[in-house]
Structures are given as structure tokens and as C-alpha cells.
Amino acid sequence: MMRRAALFLTCTALGACSMAPHYERPATPVPPSWPVGDAYLAAQEAALPSVTYDQVFRDARLQQLIEQALVNNRDLRVAAANIASARAQYRIQRAGILPQIDASAGATFRGGDGATGPDESYSADIGATGFELDLFGRLRSLSDAALNQYFATEAAARATRLALVGDIANAWLFYAADQSLLRIAQDTVANAGRSVELTRARLDGGIAPRTDLRQAELVLAQAQSDLAEQTTALAQDVNALQLLVGAPIDTALLPASIDEAAPTLAALPAGLDSSILLRRPDVVQAEYQLRAANAEIGAARAAMFPRISLTGLLGFASNALGSLFDNGAFSYSGSPGITYPIFRGGAGRAGVAQSEADRDAALATYEKAIQTAFQEVSDALARRGTIADQEHAQEQLVASATDNYQLSDARYRGGIDSFLQSLDAQRSLYNARRSLIATELTKATNLVTLYRVLGGDSSLEATNDGPQQTAVAE
């Protein structure tokens, strides 16, 4: 009995050979460094340092909104549920490698013929039922595939967190820009209102024609329309932030203007080596999915070989309950079986071909993810390389437009120039101020874009071995 039990345990402990192809990370299908030229800044950093979102977004109010969102956002809750589901699926798949141990007990009673009395029998058993010896690694390959899918799901959750932080920063900046645009609209309404009053007085005095009054009223009506639009935009900005945060927000956490909010963002060095893209969560997710597809090939190959199963049962059987566990009542049984696919109409080879095609698709997806990441970073760097010059030009434009409007307005009041010249100067100043706000917003959101596309927030990442250790330990 002991020899047979030892043989059973030895069979269950047999290691499986894997028929999955050896995995090698594909070469990155992008240049080794970022593009250079007139549109790009000359980067001096050799590698991207590890950062956290509070190092990039340094305003305490924005940090508080981000912290609230990381707790309350519903998309993150969905991502967490997906992680839990993928982790449970891995544990289910891994359980197939181990024998399933079941215990059972039973009793049978049959009536006698009057002379011998009733017939009774009792049994108590424990054993493995239908345990597959994974000699060719089919179950282990499926387990590896499930494990990599779990890691891919965790990477997808990190991508969701990274995108959420960036979305909140952008929404916060859009609110700041809309506050500045609202102030410009309010100033324009006030100036246009004074122009209307002055022009009406000049019309009543016979100095100005009626067309001057109508033109002044056009400017006032446009400014009033823009004021209403900006008021709506601010309310919608608050609604967008509340959706991202997942809870009502305190208006005290909102900025008063883009001039106040933009300087609180820190520049993030891009580094010279494009291999930093390999740590972007979406790229990490694509690589784990490629690993899972690679493991599926091993499972498909192993399915073409024999499957050996073993059923073992140890227990006791007796006609009397009181002597059920005596030495003489011990019983055992073993039922090894083998199944070999002889003819399945080519299904086995088709399964391998399908898994290889899935692997090729996953490889292309992985390479496309890297190429997309490279393009996004390059675009962001191109914008960063020229935005300072654009902002400086817009500031000069506002200064010139302001001076031109003041001179034109003075000349109109002095009766030197027509109202049309003053009106054109006022419109030019209004458009120049709005364009400067848009440029300042672009400069600030470009820093948010770099934070997102480089994907290097260590506060949103799990450690390299954390998820695997947790999954295996469970």
C-alpha cells in the first residue's frame, strides 16, 4: 500500500515539458532616439527619471482633486474589478495542474429474506478523480497564458489611472482658461457698453452718424453673447471635473485664471532613448498579451499528444459500521487512462495554426502600440519645441493691439479718426487676447500630454514582481 501511494505521489509531481515557443521580446520598430530639427528641443537628459504626478502637477488644489478621483472614479472601480476577475481566472486555470481531492462516504441497506436479516454495507473514501498528468505542458501553458492575461489586465488598469490623472489636469486647466476668457468677455462688454453710450451721445449731438452707433452695438452684442457662452463653459467644466473625480468637488479647488494655473506645472524631461516607451502601460499590456498568445501555441501543440489521466481512490469498506475503519476494511483502487487523438479532421493542426495566427496578430498589435507611442511623444515634443516662441509672439501681439486700440480710441474721441478704425482696433485686441489665452492653454496641456504619453508615473505603477508574487502566492 505504501509503495503504491508513493508511486501515486511521484506521478502527480512529474514536471511538464513546455511546447510553447521560446519568447523573445521583439525589437522596437521605432528609431532609437527622438526626432530632431527646428521643431524639437535639444534634450540633454539621458533617460527619463522616475516621477510622480505630484512632482509634475505641483498645485495642492489639483493634487487634492487627483487624490479624490483615485478613490472615487468609477472607471477605476471597473478596472479593479477586471483585475480581480482576471486573477480569479488564473487561479482557476492553475488549479487544473493539481489533482482534485474528493472525500465521500456512503451506506447501503437491503432487506433480508427473513432468515439472514437485512444486508448492510458502509464505505468512506478519499482520492483523486480524473487527474491529468501534464507530461506535454498543455495545462501549464494554459496557466501561463492566464497569468499573462492577468498581468495585461493590471497594466490596462495602470493605463486607466494614468489617463485619469491627465484628464483631471486638463479639465482643471480648461476651467482656468475659461475663467480667463470670461474675464476678457466681461472687460469687452464693459468697454463696448461705454462705446455705445459715447456714440449715442455723439449721435444725439449731431457729431456721429447712426452707422457708428449700430457698429458699436454689434460689438456689444457679440461680447454679451461670448459672455453667456463662457458662463456655460465654466459650468460644464465643473460638471466634467465632477464626473472624473466621481464626487462633488469644492469650488475652492478651482483656479482663477490660466495665468495662475499654468506656472504650477513642471516640465518633464523626455530623455534621449526611445526604449523608455516600453514602460508605458499600454505597451506593457500589449507585450503581456503577446506572451499569453505565445503560451497558447504551446497548449495547442500539446493537445495533439496523448493525454494521460489517473484516478486513485483510498478508503475503507465494511458490512458493519463499527468496524469500518479496522485494518481489514482498508481498500484502494487506481484507474490510469490514456487518450490519443487519432482522427479529428485536422482540428489539432488547425488549432495550432489558429494560435500561431493569434500570436502574429498580438505581435503586430504590440509593435503598433510602440509605434503609436513614439508618434505621440514625437508630436508632443514638436509642440513643446515651438510653443514658447508662439507664446512670445502672442504676447507681442496683445501688447501692440492694446496700444493700437488706445491710440485709435483717443483719436476717435478727438475727432481725428472715424469710429470704424477704433472699432477694428477693439476687435483686434479682443481676438489677440483670446488667442493668447488659447496659446497659454496649449502650452500647459502640452506638459500634461508629455506626462501621459511618456507613461512614467511611479506612483501609479505596481512593482515589477508585485503582481506575479501575489498571483502565485494565492
What's the rounded mean pLDDT across residues 124-135? 66
Specify the DSSP class assigned to residue 29. Answer: S
What's the rounded mean pLDDT across residues 136-152? 81
CATH of the domain at 410: 1.20.1600.10
Instruction: State residue 243's pLDDT score.
Output: 95
Which of 15-19, 352-356, 415-419 has the lowest average pLDDT?
15-19
∠ CA(326), CA(330), CA(331), 5° rounding? 160
As a whole number of angstroms, the distance between CA 298 and CA 132 comes to 17
Residue ranges in 73-126 assigned as alpha helix (H): 74-95
Specify the DSSP class assigned to residue 262. Answer: G
DSSP per-residue codes, 198-210: HHHHHHHTTSS-H
Instruction: State residue 442's pLDDT score.
Output: 95
Say yes or no: 284 and 321 in one domain. no
pLDDT at position 444 over 90: yes
pLDDT at position 206 over 50: yes
Instruction: State residue 375's pLDDT score.
Output: 86
Task: Render pLDDT for 228-254 as a digit per residue (tens, 0 to 9).
Answer: 999 999 999 999 999 999 999 999 999
Higher pLDDT, 410 or 465: 410
Specify the DSSP class assigned to residue 115. Answer: S
Listed in sequence order, the residues at least 6 apart from 272 whose beta carbon sits closer than 8 Å to its beta carbon are 33, 34, 43, 45, 46, 47
Say yes or no: 356 and 401 in one domain. yes
Which of 41-55, 81-95, 231-245, 384-398 has the lowest average pLDDT?
41-55
pLDDT at position 35 over 70: no
Listed in sequence order, the residues at least 6 apart from 19 whose beta carbon sits closer than 8 Å to its beta carbon are 136, 137, 138, 141, 297, 298, 301, 302
As a whole number of angstroms, the distance between CA 151 and CA 289 comes to 9
pLDDT at position 42 over 70: no
Say yes or no: 165 and 70 in one domain. yes
As a whole number of angstroms, the distance between CA 307 and CA 101 comes to 20
Say yes or no: 23 and 159 in one domain. yes
pLDDT at position 446 over 90: yes
Task: Count CB atoms within 10 A of the CB of residue 280.
Answer: 25
Report the candidate in 257, 313, 292, 305 with the shortest Cα–Cα distance to residue 128. Answer: 313
Confidence of residue 30 (pLDDT cuts 50, 70, 90): low
Listed in sequence order, the residues at least 6 apart from 88 whose beta carbon sits closer than 8 Å to its beta carbon are none
Chain centroid to CA 248: 23
What's the rounded mean pLDDT across residues 427-432? 91
Higher pLDDT, 177 or 290: 177
Task: Render pLDDT for 324-354 as a digit per residue (tens, 0 to 9).
Answer: 556 666 565 656 666 666 656 677 778 778 7
Instruction: State residue 314's pLDDT score.
Output: 59
pLDDT at position 32 over 80: no
* CA distances (Å), origin 12, targets 4, 99, 302, 474: 13, 7, 18, 20
Higher pLDDT, 11 or 265: 265
281 touches 462 (CB < 8 A) = no
pLDDT at position 470 over 50: no
Say yes or no: 276 and 326 in one domain. no
Instruction: State residue 445's pLDDT score.
Output: 95
3 state DSSP class of 349: helix
Say yes or no: 41 and 171 in one domain. yes
What's the rounded mean pLDDT across residues 434-457? 90
What's the rounded mean pLDDT across residues 25-52? 51
Q: What percent of the chain shows pLDDT beyond 70?
A: 69
Instruction: State residue 272's pLDDT score.
Output: 47
Say yes or no: 255 and 311 in one domain. no
Strand 119-133 versus strand 307-318 pairing type: antiparallel
Higher pLDDT, 207 or 442: 442
Please list the residues that pair with 127 across neighbouring strands: 102, 313
Say yes or no: 150 and 295 in one domain. yes
**What average pLDDT is seen over the chain?**
77
CATH of the domain at 122: 2.20.200.10
Q: Into how many domains does the chain fold?
A: 2
300 touches 352 (CB < 8 A) = yes
DSSP per-residue codes, 444-465: HHHHHHHHHHHT-BGGG---SS
Confidence of residue 275 (pLDDT cuts 50, 70, 90): low
Report the candidate in 450, 374, 462 with the shortest Cα–Cα distance to residue 56. Answer: 450
Higher pLDDT, 436 or 117: 436
Task: Count CB atoms within 10 A of the CB of residue 342.
Answer: 5
Instruction: State residue 327's pLDDT score.
Output: 63
Instruction: State residue 68's pLDDT score.
Output: 94
Say yes or no: 328 and 262 in one domain. no
Report the candidate in 184, 295, 328, 175 with the shortest Cα–Cα distance to residue 244. Answer: 175
Which H or E element spans position 211?
A: helix 210-245
Say yes or no: 37 and 161 in one domain. yes
Confidence of residue 70 (pLDDT cuts 50, 70, 90): very high
Range of the domain at 249: 2-97+135-305+347-473
Cell numbers at 149, concatenated: 492575461
3 state DSSP class of 381: helix
What's the rounded mean pLDDT across residues 434-447? 95
Q: What percent of the chain shows pLDDT beyond 90?
A: 27
pLDDT at position 4 over 60: no
> How many residues are given for the chain?
474
Instruction: State residue 58's pLDDT score.
Output: 94
Report the candidate in 98, 177, 131 with the shortest Cα–Cα distance to residue 334. Answer: 131
Say yes or no: 323 and 444 in one domain. no
As a whole number of angstroms, the distance between CA 226 and CA 70 comes to 35
Q: Which of 339, 356, 381 is the last residue in one of the domains?
A: 339
Which of 129-133, 355-359, 368-372 has the lowest average pLDDT?
129-133
Instruction: State residue 63's pLDDT score.
Output: 94
Instruction: State residue 402's pLDDT score.
Output: 92
* CA distances (Å), origin 399, targets 8, 260, 333: 89, 20, 96
Read off the pTM: 0.75
Which of 392-396, 459-463, 464-468 has the lowest average pLDDT?
464-468
Confidence of residue 323 (pLDDT cuts 50, 70, 90): low
pLDDT at position 413 over 70: yes
pLDDT at position 436 over 90: yes
User: Mapped to the 3 state alphabet, what secondary structure does 181-193 carry?
Assistant: HHHHHHHHHHHHH
Say yes or no: 275 and 294 in one domain. yes
